[in-house]
Structure 1
Amino acid sequence: MLLTCIILHRCKNLYLIAVIIGVVMFFPEEVIEEIQQRADIVEVISHYLPLKKTGNLFKALCPFHQEKTPSFMVNPQKQIFHCFGCGVGGNVFTFLMKQENISFPEAVEILAKQTGVDISHLVTGNINKGSSEITPKLYELNELATAYYQNFLNREEGKGAREYLKKRKISSELISKFRIGYAPFRNRLLTYLQKRGYKQELLIKAGLIIKREDGRELDRFINKLIFPLFNPQGRIVGFGSRRLDNQVPKYVNSPQTVLFNKSRYLYGLNFARHFIKKDVIVVEGYLDLLALVQFGIYNAVACLGTALTRQQIRVLQRYAERCIIIYDGDRAGQEASVRELELFIEEDVPVGVVELPRGLDPDECIRKEGKERFIQRIEKADDFFDYKLNFLSQRYDLEKAEDLAKVSKEMISSLYKIGDAVLRDAYIKRLSRKLNIREDSLYLEIEKLDALDRKRQRKKNVSFKASVPTQYREEKILLGLMLTEEEVISLVRKSLKPDEFRNLSIGKIVRFLLSKERRIPLSQLIEKLRKEEIEGLDSLISSCVNQLEESLDLNKKISIASDCIKRIKRKKREAKLLDLQKRIESAEEKEDETLSSQLLEEYQRVLNTDGTDI
């Protein structure tokens, strides 16, 4: 059985990436270095995250774990990034690999294109279509499928789809901008792609084809209006579709693939991200979004025709200070708004809600009332408190004590989730005034929920402690200093050996640094160390560097390094003494006086040293 795998190593100043079945790429060191020199890490990451300048650094909410306070830092001087929350870090290649879920050679290719470095002569062969590295092929297939659907929209077969878009008053400019298309009857796409050499297995992985129980393969989208779904960087990751008849379900999306997860993506974010300053508007459907854009409201996205998810809210949090929900003005739209308010509260994301006239969706409303009136509605959006209270007031009779109690408990269940104590107190005062209920009664309900929550936590017996490990602290500080100052490397070369480091990964990096005549730029060092197979290399280096204060001068760094060396030697001495003590006890238990005497002499010798001669 043939196995497809990636081999990455350095050979005679070449980075060799070989896919056993398919492609071989040779990346000379100087090519990797040129790409790194041209690729500004701040510019690259800013395409994915809204970075804010803080002193000499840039910060953002980390894309690799959930957080409410930014702990993801980018250092333009050192060309590295590091998250103090989850510990992820590295250089520009590392970021791209993690963010796009791609391999090192794919990251090299992407950055080479962005920076204008020609590497076409370094690639021989083609990535095998059955390879596990299918990400580039899926992007390629999505582009081909999009062009195919666009083409059919303009052919005779697409007449019905064109008439539908005309009826919905979607302009030709918008159709082109969002690359809207039409999927015809029969298995036309399957035939089209198979003729171009794409195998059935890959087409299924792309979500373009489905395989029935009887073994037949069919186009996933047939006689449907097609909306390509883009990631924030503008690459097509999947497709949304709408039926042109009245049958259900009206909307069908691509299945989950390597590229696409419907709970994470939002329609139109690739376009809206450039126009979001403070607020982002969230609507339900593709056509609602297109109507808003057509009227010049560009800071809007759609949640793929499904309920908004926690992951989508976290994505929006990176771009906007507040989210404004505008759903259909019917009962279902109101209930969806109330449900999703809870997610915004739990994620600590400010939210507003616009309630439309009954029976109108955002598309119909803006076309009927016009842009100016629609913007006025947005400016007067209710906060979560007013919207939920109004919604509940319509469902219950507040003149009845039982209904009043139900409404207060519903509201308290939301207020309890607010982490900001001052904000929660302000809302409780508002609720007290609105419902004419004493504040202490409302706080009593809060206390009940708090007690119930503590009880659940005790049952789970789970502790979520996020502490910074202090193990190997002096070794990490010393490595950070070595990575930034040539003089510290010289000091370590005179004072320590690599095998004196208890952390094996740090020892490997130190050995590499001591073997070089001059210090290597940090962003290049990570790539040069890849062959060492050091566990957690990128995060280790970025964490060691980022723990240092930027304001330290060279003399202070030398002083700190000297102190770290003393501590490392002292700990080495303590470890040796502990080992000797155990061996002495063992020798005495065996009544081996000769060995015991030798070990005692050794113990005395180590005790009288500073750890240098151990």
Structure 2
Amino acid sequence: MYYSEELIEEVRIRNDIIEIVSSYVKLERKGRRYFGLCPFHNEKSPSFCIEPAKQFFYCFGCNKGGSVIQFIMSIENLDFMDALKFLAERVGIVLPEPEDTEQKEKSRLRMQILDINKEAARFFFATLAGKNGIGAQGYLKNRGLTEKTIRQFGLGLASNGWNDLTKTLLSKGAEENLLLSSGLSLKTKNGELIDRFRDRIMFPIFDIRGNIIGFGGRVIDQSQPKYMNSPDTPVYNKSRELYGLNYARQSKSKKLLIVEGYMDVISLHQADIDYAVASLGTALTQSQAWILKKYAEEVIIAYDSDTAGQAATLRGLDILEKAGCNIRVLLIPDGKDPDEYIKNNGPEKFKNLVDRAISLLDYKIRVEKNMHNLDTVDDKLKLLNSIADILAAHDNSIERELYTKDYAQQYGISLESLNSEVQKKRNRQISKNKPYSLRKNTAFGRELSEIPRIDPKYGELEYVLLVMLCNENRLFEKVSAEYSIDAYVDKSAGKIAEKLYKRLITNNNCVLAELLNVLEPSEASYLVRIAETNSDLEDTDKAIQQILNKLEILKLEDMQKETIERIKNEHDGIIRQKLGLEFSKRAERIAELKRLA
């Protein structure tokens, strides 16, 4: 059975590889990786590792690797379709027409919930548009929302009756169990069904495919709780969804802006800031962070600036950093939320704030500075030690150096002393979290069981190029211009390039774990091996250019060999002279490229 690439990718994203593998393998964190004894071959020392930020596994002993899908295929001895069903079932994703009776029943329930959610959304929308919705309409207009925006986001109103929605849905043939499973109705102690949502503005929650999977409700007055959300259901889990992502992922912007509430998202989209999303009544989760990483080159976090908002921002930054996101923090003056700021100052000024969002390091150090009053030398020492801790924990050496210089100047201390302290702390951190040595238990130098046939000259370089392109989608235009699909010499790499280039042209993004979804196990294992053994590159732009240069050298050298043979066999002097000139020009280009290496 065929499933869309979008659906396969949703299944992969929803299944955290650490959670899945942990149920089969005892894992221990070492640096940025997790290690354990490989479940696919016998070993005494762990060589099986997982990169949580990249969501793939690799064994340096047997060379098996891939995404969470390949792991389940291997560990459960399932084919691709069965592994996909296994993982989809785990997170409540509906796959079309399962053949298994139990699965068919679960799928039927999910489809029924999606259908009844659609009916509920129509009911809420009609209530808002009717005579009982005049007060709510006034509230939304006072918040600055237009009719077009209300319609776009499907906003509605839950009436103040105890069971208006429940009675309506029952009259249309819905069963009581379905109303309870969907979270739209509750059962009282005396067994009566009542509405979960009453007298609230209703916000339908959409998945990335446009299905209504749940609802959020907000009171108009000052009663509590201010917000109420659907419970987890067979189609909805608040920790795995982002409000507004169904629209934001279509934005031409390469970034996503995380805000706190539904109204912030809606106001921003109305102001043509169409890349805003919100977590759903919960702190940002790791699953949400990986989704953000997939859809954005840059993630900007814009939580409230009060104490709770600041704590949420710091937690969110740690989670986003773990997922490998490029992060900035938006600071809104006077503690306003985005909705309020736009209403008072207009969208252009808010866009200027977005452009001036500060880096992850800047924000962490600002928070630390606010915790010290700096009246005494002792206070300054404590702050500088805290700054040194933050800088030491930061992996980007260029940013570390720039910030170290900046803070040495700010506080009137020598660059050497601050640098020395940062390096000492960094050495301690590295020693404490010393990663497992990859030289032990590796299969390098012996026959590799999970490696496809590759071209001996071009294969590895072309695979490295594909991995780097997955890591840095922004370089696609450059790479595709210099090395088109037709340029690939290795047949397998060429087929993979065709799939990757197509995704990047269509969706503008593709991470390695996503590409692994459509590869043969041997190809997936080899790509992950390449990723693991080329993972410490700080200047990816330079590294990609070097790969392109090496590939060009190989092609030019092949052409030189052909030219030599042609000259040997050519009797026409003029043609021989022309071939000689071509040979000389290529030789100059080869020499130039080798100097750049």
1:513-524 mapped onto 2 (5 Å cutoff): none
Distance 2:118 2:437 in 1: 46
Any unmatched runs of 5+ in structure 2?
19-51, 58-64, 454-515, 528-597
Given that residues 330 and 360 in structure 1 are in contact (C-alpha distance below 8 angstroms), is that contact kept between their aligned partners in structure 2?
no
Distance 1:106 1:349, change over 3 A: closer
Higher helix share: 2
TM-score by length of 1: 0.58
Number of aligned residues:
413
TM-score by length of 2: 0.59
Match of 1:264 among 240, 245, 264: 240
Given that residues 281 and 324 in structure 1 are in contact (C-alpha distance below 8 angstroms), is that contact kept between their aligned partners in structure 2?
yes
Match of 1:543 among 518, 521, 529: 521
Distance 2:349 2:171 in 1: 52
How many angstroms does 1:136 deviate by?
A: 1.2
3-state SS of 2:126 partner: helix
Match of 2:279 among 284, 296, 303: 303
Distance 1:158 1:464 in 2: 64
| Corresponding position of 2:419 | 439
Distance 1:62 1:427 in 2: 36
- Coordinate RMSD, CA, aligned: 4.4
Q: Which amino acid aligns with 2:140?
A: L
| Corresponding position of 2:53 | 68
- Indicate yes or no: 2:25 matched with 1:45: no
Distance 1:443 1:269 in 2: 41
Q: Which amino acid aligns with 2:321?
A: I
Match of 1:149 among 124, 130, 141: 124
1:127-526 mapped onto 2 (5 Å cutoff): 133-185=108-160, 186-213=162-189, 215-420=191-396, 423-424=399-400, 426-435=402-411, 436=413, 438-450=418-430
Any unmatched runs of 5+ in structure 1?
1-31, 51-59, 73-80, 111-122, 480-537, 550-614
Distance 1:245 1:465 in 2: 64
Which deviates more, 346-355 or 167-176?
346-355
Distance 1:464 1:184, change over 3 A: farther
The structure that has the greater radius of gyration is: 1
Distance 1:242 1:385, change over 3 A: same
How many angstroms does 1:274 deviate by?
A: 0.7
Spell out, residue by residue over 1:478-527, the C-alpha distance to the aligned partner (whole angstroms, 9 max, x if none). 99xxxxxxxxxxxxxxxxxxxxxxxxxxxxxxxxxxxxxxxxxxxxxxxx
Distance 1:545 1:375, change over 3 A: closer
Distance 1:214 1:468 in 2: 65
3-state SS of 2:342 partner: helix
How many angstroms does 1:407 deviate by?
A: 3.1
| Corresponding position of 1:18 | none
3-state SS of 2:242 partner: coil
How many angstroms does 1:194 deviate by?
A: 2.2
Distance 1:190 1:348 in 2: 44
How many angstroms does 1:546 deviate by?
A: 5.1
| Corresponding position of 1:83 | 67
3-state SS of 1:378 partner: helix
Given that residues 279 and 299 in structure 1 are in contact (C-alpha distance below 8 angstroms), is that contact kept between their aligned partners in structure 2?
yes
Distance 2:368 2:303 in 1: 17
How many angstroms does 1:228 deviate by?
A: 0.7
1:3-82 mapped onto 2 (5 Å cutoff): 36=2, 44-46=4-6, 65=17, 67-69=52-54
Spell out, residue by residue over 1:174-203, the C-alpha distance to the aligned partner (whole angstroms, 9 max, x if none). 111111111112111222222233333322
Distance 1:394 1:336, change over 3 A: same
Q: Which amino acid aligns with 2:319?
A: L
How many angstroms does 1:317 deviate by?
A: 0.3
| Corresponding position of 1:566 | none
Given that residues 286 and 302 in structure 1 are in contact (C-alpha distance below 8 angstroms), is that contact kept between their aligned partners in structure 2?
yes
Distance 1:205 1:465 in 2: 52
Distance 1:201 1:324, change over 3 A: same
How many angstroms does 1:477 deviate by?
A: 7.8
Spell out, residue by residue over 1:195-220, the C-alpha distance to the aligned partner (whole angstroms, 9 max, x if none). 23333332222111223455443211
Given that residues 87 and 543 in structure 1 are in contact (C-alpha distance below 8 angstroms), is that contact kept between their aligned partners in structure 2?
no
Given that residues 256 and 296 in structure 2 are in contact (C-alpha distance below 8 angstroms), is that contact kept between their aligned partners in structure 1?
yes
Distance 1:128 1:445 in 2: 53
Identity level (%): 29
Distance 2:111 2:82 in 1: 18
